[in-house]
Amino acid sequence: MALRLGDEAPNFTAESTEGTINFHEYLGDSWGVLFSHPADFTPVCTTELGAVSRLRDEFSKRNVKVIALSVDGLESHKSWIGDINETQNTAVNFPIIADEDKKVSTLYDMIHPNANESFTVRSVFVIGPDKKIKLTITYPASTGRNFDELLRVIDSLQLTANYSVATPADWKEGEDVVVSPAIKTEEIPAKFPKGHRVIKPYLRMTPQPNK
């Protein structure tokens, strides 16, 4: 059965390029990004892991831990990291899970037989400090992921977890946000003293409250 938003992220223990990892213990009080790739030594995956490595500081300042996975073995992962570092001008700085028995892939429904019976698809799970799944995205094997978009979504998730707001289409950090429909218009000034705009009774905008 596929995991859904709000479900607890299944825990697991697995070998990785940084040793044995218990997933929930690894995350601790942090947010987490678990993402799978179809196979080692493949071109799109090589660019993806390089991109994530270069964004290390961006994930860190958001208190996000990243962990990758494929169904290849540990020695394959370690050998591939050399290629990633060389071709992407970076240094892989997060663990890659070796899931040869497909235990984790099956747990997270990362293998889609109609796409490929053997390899994991490009799944992404964003997990909150409460270990609940906040976001799922699945890409086909032929399409590399946009990790700047993933950071944008994490910014939205972290903001809306703490304030009674939502983020509109194409929102970026620092832009105006939508006041929750649960808040009455007359209550907005007390909750959002930076001001607000009423576009429609159900569409009220306010500056990002934590900026």
- Condensed to tens digits (0 to 9), the pLDDT of residues 96-146 reads 999 999 899 889 988 765 555 556 668 999 999 999 999 999 988 889 999
21 by DSSP, 3-state: which?
strand
Answer yes or no: 45 catalytic: yes
Q: What's the token pair of residue 151?
A: 């950071």
The average pLDDT across 8-14 equals 97
The average pLDDT across 153-157 equals 98
Q: What's the token pair of residue 32?
A: 């987490």
Percent of the chain with pLDDT over 70: 95
Catalytic-labelled residue, pool 14, 27, 33, 45:
45
CA distance 149 to 57: 16
* pTM value surpassing 0.85: yes
211 by DSSP, 3-state: which?
coil
Q: What's the token pair of residue 86?
A: 């060389």
Question: Please, what are the domains in the chain?
Answer: 13-145 (3.40.30.10), 163-206 (3.30.1020.10)
CA distances from 185 to 101, 128, 180, 191 (A): 55, 30, 10, 10
